[in-house]
């Protein structure tokens, strides 16, 4: 076996290893369960999320999230976003709308007012904060942006059900947020394949 042949074999071996690394599936499972909310009309709009993972950071998505203002309501009412995410606030009503947040946890902001068909944007940079969304034109309007540090989160449906998909196998702290109620953190171990069930009970 001559030198050229050895070099070719070594190159092919490295290429094969590189391709295997690329195509090797990521070992990931999912977290699902139900939230039981006591003292409110339903179990929806709870944010369930994995707390920050030591030694890991996640780049914010290039695509903006969206909150609509329609029928004098913030839609969705609650939206979790990864830290650094930009949210576009759209006005779909025939009246002027405004978006501001008075919360000290986040940077206070006021985007001013704008008419139907237009939008304004804000980038949420403060991890672990929940920003209350208000409109100074319509004081009955309220929404919430919850800023998390991992892309592994979900919002419960009215029946309390939720699913967090594509979670890498490992041990994590699972947290829950609700605008009116509180719940305990849960330690969870996600399998390499399949689902783990975590239920929450939240109350005042």
Decide if pLDDT at 9 tops 60: no
Q: Given this model, what pLDDT does residue 106 score?
A: 61
Tokens for 89? 């606030």
CA 128 to chain centre: 11
CATH numbers and ranges of domains, the chain: 1-56+155-204 (2.60.40.1120), 59-148 (2.60.40.420)
Reported as a pLDDT band with limits 50, 70 and 90, residue 108 is confident
Query: Which residues pair with residue 136 across a beta bridge?
Result: none
* pLDDT tens-place string over residues 26-82: 578 999 999 999 999 999 999 999 999 989 999 999 999 999 999 999 999 999 999
CA distance readout (Å), 6 to 13, 15, 17, 189? 11, 14, 17, 46
**Integer Cα distance of 28 and 170 in angstroms:** 9
Q: DSSP label at 84?
A: T
Q: Given this model, what pLDDT does residue 20 score?
A: 46
**Integer Cα distance of 194 and 198 in angstroms:** 13
Query: Contact 2/9 with Cβ under 8 angstroms?
Result: no
The mean pLDDT value for 89-101 works out to 96
**DSSP per-residue letters across 101-149:** E--SSSPPEEEEEE-TT-EEEEE---TT-EEEEE-SS-TT-EEEEEEES
Query: Contact 121/88 with Cβ under 8 angstroms?
Result: yes
Tokens for 102? 């008075």
Cβ neighbors of 27 (< 8 A, separation 6 or more) are: 168, 169, 192, 193
Reported as a pLDDT band with limits 50, 70 and 90, residue 118 is very high
Q: Give the count of alpha carbons within 13 A of 192, CB side only.
A: 3
Tokens for 73? 């309501």
Q: Given this model, what pLDDT does residue 13 score?
A: 59
* pLDDT tens-place string over residues 142-192: 999 999 999 999 999 999 999 999 999 999 999 999 999 999 999 999 998
């Amino acid at each position: 076996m001559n030198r050229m042949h050895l070099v070719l074999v070594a190159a092919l071996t490295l290429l094969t290893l590189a391709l295997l690394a690329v195509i090797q599936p990521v070992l990931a499972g999912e977290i699902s369960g139900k939230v039981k909310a006591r003292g409110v009309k339903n179990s929806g709009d709870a944010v369930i999320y994995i707390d920050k993972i030591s030694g890991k950071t996640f780049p914010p998505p290039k695509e903006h999230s969206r909150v609509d203002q329609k029928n004098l309501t913030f839609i969705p009412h609650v939206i979790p976003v990864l830290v650094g995410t930009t949210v576009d606030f759209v006005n779909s009503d025939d009246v002027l709308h405004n978006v501001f947040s008075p919360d000290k946890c986040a940077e206070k902001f006021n985007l001013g007012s704008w008419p139907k068909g237009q939008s304004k944007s804000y980038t949420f940079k403060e991890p672990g904060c929940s920003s209350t969304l208000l409109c100074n034109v319509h004081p009955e309007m309220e929404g919430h942006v919850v800023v998390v540090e991992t892309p592994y989160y979900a919002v419960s449906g009215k029946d309390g059900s939720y699913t967090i998909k594509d979670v890498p196998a490992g041990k994590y702290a699972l947290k829950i947020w609700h605008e009116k109620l509180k719940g305990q953190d849960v330690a969870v171990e996600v399998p390499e394949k399949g689902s783990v069930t975590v239920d929450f009970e939240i109350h005042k």
